Amino acid sequence: MALNHRCSEIVAGLALVTVASCAGSRNKTVAPQAGTALPRSVIEAPGDAPRLCSGHISGAPLPDGKPGPHILWEAYSSQELPASLAKRYLDSLGSEAHSTLDGCDLWRFPPDKPARTLEVCPVSVKGPWSECDQAPPRAATIIMISSMATAD
């Protein structure tokens, strides 16, 4: 099964299986707060970003028999433009763990061996969230927050 480039990069080329749970989004959508600062050093979706779905990606077992990495992710949507939202995250999370890939802004913590990742992408970018129910019609941005557990 082929996955998008970011998932493949996260688990460094392991054979993967993905499962998505497309539960309903939050009941209430509020207008985006482009000027509002995000909590400092906290990886979370803005309060006005409805949840789209969640899922997990499991890596193949390692050569030593240990289980492969397991990634849990949640996707949210926002009406705020990707560049504006990415700037707010940059102000909150800093630039040390920041990079860009395929039109998305990413933060990996810790940068050298990430256990938590935040992605801010335009809705046109394909990712694990592509299997979710469609984003609200006025959504401009997808936010994906993931955590990875390994047997180490």
Q: What pLDDT, on the 0 to 100 scale, is given for residue 26?
A: 38
Q: List, for residues 53-84, the tens digit of each pLDDT value.
A: 999 988 888 888 888 889 999 999 999 999 99
Q: At 104, is the pLDDT very low, low, confident or very high (cuts 50, 70, 90)?
A: very high
HEC-encoded secondary structure of the chain: CCCCHHHHHHCCCCCEEEEEECCCCCCCCCCCCCCCCCCCCCCCCCCCCCEEEEEEEEECCCCCCCCCCEEEEEEEEECCCHHHHHHHHHHHHCCCCEEEECCEEEEEECCCCCCEEEEEEECCCCCHHHHCCCCCCCCCEEEEEEEEECCC
pTM over 0.85: no
Q: What pLDDT, on the 0 to 100 scale, is given for residue 69?
A: 86
